[in-house]
Structure 1
Amino acid sequence: MRSTMRKTLEGIALGILLLVLSAALAGAEELEVGIAKDMPSVTVKTPTGETTIKRIQDTENEISGAFAKTSRACPPFCIQPMTPAEGVATIGELELIALLQDPEAIVIDSRTADWYGKGTIPGAIHLPYTVIAEQLDRLGCEVDFDGWDCTGAKRVALFCNGLWCGQSPTAIRAMIAAGFPAEKISYYRGGMQNWQLLGLTVVKP
């Protein structure tokens, strides 16, 4: 009797364990194309809730549309320097993703509204390069008698359309001129073109 009862309980426990394992495996999507070796995907907070950033899984996918273009008239679409201003750190996708996961950091899409409306990086806020120096209060600065007091400035990262886009470099220089500390600014030079070239998630605002 005890032996039968024990076998029944073991069978029930095994069944529960198998159900839990199969549910966990079903919930964990297996990605062929990850972001990095130990990072298949990441989840970031956005104004509309959490969004998962991952890469397009179709290994035959190719970039198309505006970001497939290799050549644009220069000026205005000239290749940008690696560093837009002294003291500013230029970063890549993994560093940008780390900032997107940092609740104390702000990632800024500094493009004009028409570009922003076509799609942006999940978790980025829109602050166009044309007005950013007037809205440093959104980035931890305070208005004082001389302009801006940026003692409490947050860590920020700016991006625009890519290596040929001058919008985020212009925004960065305007921020520094207004008193924002250069060492608190990162520049994602690859911008939307590199982001999409790598098949990373884009959201419509």
Structure 2
Amino acid sequence: MAFGRTLTVIASLLAAGAAAAEEIKVGIASDRPTVTVATPDGPVEISRDQNPEAKLEGDWALTSRECPPFCIQPMTPAEGVTTIGELELLDLLEGGEAVVIDSRTRDWFEGGTIPGAVNIPYNEIGDQLGDLGCEPDFEGWDCAGAKEVALFCNGLWCGQSPSAIRVMISLGYPPERIRYYRGGMQSWRLLGLTVVQP
């Protein structure tokens, strides 16, 4: 009797899982419908907007901004830094192996960010290297124990994370421990990925 109930429970769980998987038409990748990341407020499931008619609106739909300051950023902001896309950023978020830094100013951060990201504004990063594994010394910072980090800002036209990266490197942060998500919030939103309000 207990064996029959166990089989019924297993069959129900499998059916529920299959039904949930069928509901997700717009996945992250063919073998990855969603990604769950740990945040200080608990786990957050990152998925894509399921509405095939969804469009960017407001500031995120703008394609042309005055340059300077809104100039197209180089693919690599500094020698030794690795530029990544959404899937690599999701791997870092899911694995918890790197600190994902939203380097935008606080007002932009409060308007919505990537789940699991911490806000260290580009103009404050030089004072906060201690939070990233560096130790103060008499000549500035000793970053031998620096954490793996990934920085992003508003998008391909935003210079906040490239500026932060260059400051970090000038203070001794090893460039090989830095990732740059060049697409930033505009690309993240364009793909309909989950945005959270901090």
Question: Normalising by the residue count of structure 2, what TM-score does the alignment of the two structures yield?
Answer: 0.94
Q: Distance in 2 between matches of 1:47 and 1:63?
A: 28
Deviant stretches of 4+, over 6 Å = none
**Percent identity (aligned):** 63
Question: 2:147 pairs with 154, 163, 166, which one?
Answer: 154
Q: Distance in 2 between matches of 1:113 and 1:59?
A: 31
What is the aligned partner in structure 2 of residue 36 from structure 1?
Answer: 29
Q: Distance in 2 between matches of 1:18 and 1:68?
A: 49
What is the aligned partner in structure 1 of residue 16 from structure 2?
Answer: 26
TM-superposed deviation, 1:24:
4.3
CA deviation vs aligned residue, 1:119-171 (integer Å, no higher than 9, x gap): 00000000000010111011111111111000000110000000000000000
Question: 1:143 pairs with 122, 136, 147, which one?
Answer: 136
What is the aligned partner in structure 1 of residue 88 from structure 2?
Answer: 95
Give the greater-gyration-radius structure (CA): 1
Extract unaligned runs of 5+ from structure 1. 1-8
CA deviation vs aligned residue, 1:105-129 (integer Å, no higher than 9, x gap): 1000000011000000000000000
Q: Does 1:118 align with 2:111?
A: yes
TM-superposed deviation, 1:62:
1.2
Q: Does 1:174 align with 2:174?
A: no
Q: Does 1:67 align with 2:57?
A: no
Q: Distance in 2 between matches of 1:147 and 1:24?
A: 56
Q: What is the RMSD computed on CA atoms of the aligned residues? A: 1.4
Q: Distance in 1 between matches of 2:125 and 2:173?
A: 11
In the alignment of these two chains, the number of paired residues is 195
What is the aligned partner in structure 2 of residue 76 from structure 1?
Answer: 69
More displaced stretch, 12-21 vs 109-118: 12-21
